[in-house]
């Protein structure tokens, strides 16, 4: 048996979480016992996801409560623009030190505010969480659409696994026609 310490459980007690319609403050402490195997598994997930252990525990508990409809406020969308899951091929174009790099990948979800991409591990583009990371352009077509969509993105979250890189990016620049096409598709 392993006891999770308060530092494992509490990482953001004093920091509010900003939600769509207000602020949800973490103002309650939970302390509980778990098996050593579960503790190790959660710690491994936290390290892989580059999150704190308490953040992973909160995500697991929130998903469970949401799936069981036990906590109504968890079912509300926290993002400004809700995501829509799609699978679409994408061309990624990055300008780095005067050199243009092209890669392919796939879009796994998209919203009016950003996109999640999956890019093969051997990609030429260098995309990272670094604040100085270069912006990149994506070119794709939406399902059942014939128009090309061109958007400039800024990486927000990058995670790697054995086979691919997963990039969460926000849109920073879009031509009017591309954004209108995206808006029509999503709404």
pLDDT band for position 77 (50/70/90)?
low
What's residue 143's pLDDT?
86
pLDDT digit string, tens, across residues 9-60: 444 334 444 434 444 456 677 888 889 999 999 988 888 877 788 888 888 8
Provide the token pair at 168: 């969460």
pLDDT band for position 5 (50/70/90)?
very low
Question: How far apart are the C-alpha atoms of 115 and 141, rounded to whole Å?
Answer: 13
Question: How far apart are the C-alpha atoms of 184 and 69, rounded to whole Å?
Answer: 31
What's residue 110's pLDDT?
92
Average pLDDT of span 86-95: 88
What are the φ and ψ backbone dihedral angles of 127, each rounded to 5 degrees? Answer: -120, 130
Average pLDDT of span 159-175: 86
Provide the token pair at 100: 């243009």
Tokens 């778990």 sit at which residue?
A: 34
Provide the token pair at 13: 């007690």
The DSSP output letter for 76 is S
Beta bridge partners of 105: 90
Question: How far apart are the C-alpha atoms of 32 and 104, rounded to whole Å?
Answer: 45
Question: How far apart are the C-alpha atoms of 92 and 84, rounded to whole Å?
Answer: 20
Per-residue 3-state assignment (H helix, E strand, C coil) for the chain:
CEECCHHHHCCCCCCCEEECCEEECCCCCCCCEECHHHHHHHHHHHHHHCCCHHHHHHHHHHHHHHHCCCCHHHHCCCCCCCCEEEEEEEEEEEEECCEEEEEEEEEEEECCCEEEEEEECCCCCCCCCCCCCCCEEEEEECCCCCCEEEEEEEEEEEEECCCEEEEEEEEEEECHHHHHHHHHHHC
pLDDT digit string, tens, across residues 104-151: 999 999 999 999 999 988 877 777 766 566 788 999 998 888 889 999
pTM given for the model: 0.57
Is the CB of residue 125 less than 8 Å from the CB of residue 101?
yes
What's residue 141's pLDDT?
92
Domains plus CATH for the chain?
2-75 (no CATH), 84-186 (2.40.10.220)
Average pLDDT of span 55-70: 78
pLDDT band for position 158 (50/70/90)?
confident
């Amino acid at each position: 048996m392993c006891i999770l310490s308060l530092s494992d459980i509490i990482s953001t007690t004093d920091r509010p979480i900003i939600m769509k319609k207000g602020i949800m403050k973490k103002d309650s402490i939970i302390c509980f016992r778990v098996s050593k195997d579960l503790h190790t598994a959660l710690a491994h997930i936290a390290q892989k996801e580059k999150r704190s252990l308490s953040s992973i525990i909160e995500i697991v508990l929130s998903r469970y409560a949401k799936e069981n409809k036990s906590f109504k406020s968890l079912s509300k969308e926290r993002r400004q623009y809700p995501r829509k899951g799609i699978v679409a091929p994408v061309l990624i174009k990055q300008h780095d030190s005067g050199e243009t790099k092209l890669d392919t990948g796939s879009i796994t979800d998209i919203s009016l505010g950003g996109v999640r991409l999956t890019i093969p591990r051997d990609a030429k583009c260098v995309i990272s969480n670094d604040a100085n990371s270069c912006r990149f352009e994506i070119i794709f077509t939406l399902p059942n659409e014939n128009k090309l969509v061109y958007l400039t993105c800024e990486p927000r979250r990058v995670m790697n696994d054995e086979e691919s890189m997963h990039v969460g990016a926000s849109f920073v620049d879009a031509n009017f026609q591309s954004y209108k096409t995206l808006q029509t598709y999503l709404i």
